Structure 1
Amino acid sequence: MARIVISENVSVDGVVEVGEGFDRGDWYGRIGAADREAWAKLEYDEALGADALLLGRRTYEWFVAQGWPSRSGGWADRLRELPKYVVAGTTDADSWANTTVLTGPVTEAVAALKRERSGEIVLYGSGRLARALLAADLVDELRLVTYPFVVGAGERLFGATDAVWPLRLAESRTVGENLTRLTLRPA
């Protein structure tokens, strides 16, 4: 059985998806070169340890629009060779090698994928999908890279809830000079 790992970039105030006026590229443009380099190495190492990627439709389309299917370099090569599973009804799976579109109810499709595969299935971005998988108790690990700024408005990984999700800290490490990665697992 595979392990589902959510890998998210988050602001200090918990925002994972921002709205108008602060696009995804601003996350990286607001940190220094040393932090960008350390973050890229962290992400590359994570991709090397992954057995598959899981993406929501909008995150998949963002990767395609940013040219990842044809980029060169170790990280791009690794992402290209990994099996990619996209939760979406209208995504063109031919846009990026080794992509499969999951169909049916989201949590059922991901639960079946988890049973069928082994190793780590890493979910990049995809805030709505991450929240759905957390609510369905399908997540085995959270890896949160915290950026040193407050965004204010935007989608948060954990929305309003009456539920208590006990987690335990598995690892905490500094990435570059200003980023922190917390690795959390269900308690």
Structure 2
Amino acid sequence: MGKIVISENISLDGVIQAGEDDFERGSWVTRIGQKDHEEWAKVEFEEALGAEALLMGRRTYAWFLARGWASRTGEWADRLRSLPKYVVSSSALEGPDWSNSTVLKGDVVEEVSNLRQQGNGDIVVYGSGRLAHTLMEHDLVDELRLMTYPFVVGAGERLFGETSGVKPMRLVDTRAVGDGLVLLTYQSVRDV
């Protein structure tokens, strides 16, 4: 069985909205130093190397396309291009315009459950706040990887919204990334 991994850049106060769509607080993820950015990129590349597939919402998919990931060169871009990409979209999605992409148009919970059953590695979810909420609510998240930035943003979309109940998680790893970032890894605790 595959493992659904939510991978997010997140502020100290839980904000995942990071400057897209003219966010009033700006792009806080770009306010880190060069060393932190380089170390962040290494961690993200390692994660891509360990992934079996990517799963993302339509807006995150469009974000990657707008930043040229479909045509970039280099090992990281090549790896992302080679991975199967599953895009959840309830609205019309032209294309898809990135190689190895499949649009999932059915029931999100059913589609992701099927992906998880058919897989045998990490299915990584980048960004995709709404999708992350849905997956968390339906107990489809196996692991959270939170790249924590040293900012209190104070407003914006947060990763953790209301749920129908408590979702227990177990901290399994902490890793300093550069001088200011921390990668926190949690696994879902089931049968509590």
Q: Same fold (TM over 0.5)?
A: yes
Bigger drift between 89-98 and 55-64 goes to 89-98
Residue 166 of structure 1 deviates from its aligned partner by 1.3
Alignment counterpart, residue 138 of structure 2, candidates 133, 136, 139: 136
Residue 79 of structure 1 deviates from its aligned partner by 0.2
Contact 1:39 1:175 in 2 (8 A): yes
Question: In the alignment, does 2:165 pair up with 1:156?
Answer: no
Contact 1:93 1:101 in 2 (8 A): no
What's the CA shift string for 1:12-46, capped at 9, x where partnerless? 000012562234xx233200000000000000000
Residue 162 of structure 1 deviates from its aligned partner by 5.6
Match of 1:116 in 2: 118
Alignment counterpart, residue 20 of structure 1, candidates 9, 23, 29: 23
What's the CA shift string for 1:53-94, capped at 9, x where partnerless? 001000000000000000011100000000000001322343
Residue 176 of structure 1 deviates from its aligned partner by 0.6
Match of 2:31 in 1: 30
In structure 2, how many angstroms separate the alpha carbons of the residues matched to 1:182 and 1:10?
A: 10
Contact 2:51 2:121 in 1 (8 A): yes
Could you list the runs of 5+ residues in structure 1 that have no partner in the other structure?
none
* Number of residue pairs the alignment of both structures matches: 185
C-alpha change, 1:93 and 1:113, in structure 2 (3 Å) is: farther
Contact 1:52 1:83 in 2 (8 A): yes
TM-score normalised according to structure 1 size: 0.95
Match of 1:7 in 2: 7
Match of 1:83 in 2: 84
Question: Could you tell me which amino acid in structure 2 is paired with residue 13 of structure 1?
Answer: D
In structure 2, how many angstroms separate the alpha carbons of the residues matched to 1:141 and 1:102?
A: 22
Contact 2:137 2:163 in 1 (8 A): no
Spell out structure 1 runs of 4+ moving beyond 3 A. Answer: none
Match of 1:181 in 2: 183
What's the CA shift string for 1:87-128, capped at 9, x where partnerless? 013223431000000121111111111112221100000001
Question: Could you tell me which amino acid in structure 2 is paired with residue 100 of structure 1?
Answer: T
Question: In the alignment, does 2:98 pair up with 1:96?
Answer: yes
In structure 2, how many angstroms separate the alpha carbons of the residues matched to 1:22 and 1:81?
A: 34
Identity, % of aligned positions: 58
Could you list the runs of 5+ residues in structure 2 that have no partner in the other structure?
none
Bigger drift between 173-182 and 107-116 goes to 107-116
Bigger drift between 162-171 and 30-39 goes to 162-171
Contact 2:96 2:103 in 1 (8 A): no
TM-score normalised according to structure 2 size: 0.92
Contact 2:69 2:77 in 1 (8 A): yes
Question: Could you tell me which amino acid in structure 1 is paired with residue 185 of structure 2?
Answer: T
Alignment root-mean-square deviation, CA: 1.3
In structure 1, how many angstroms separate the alpha carbons of the residues matched to 2:162 and 2:68?
A: 35
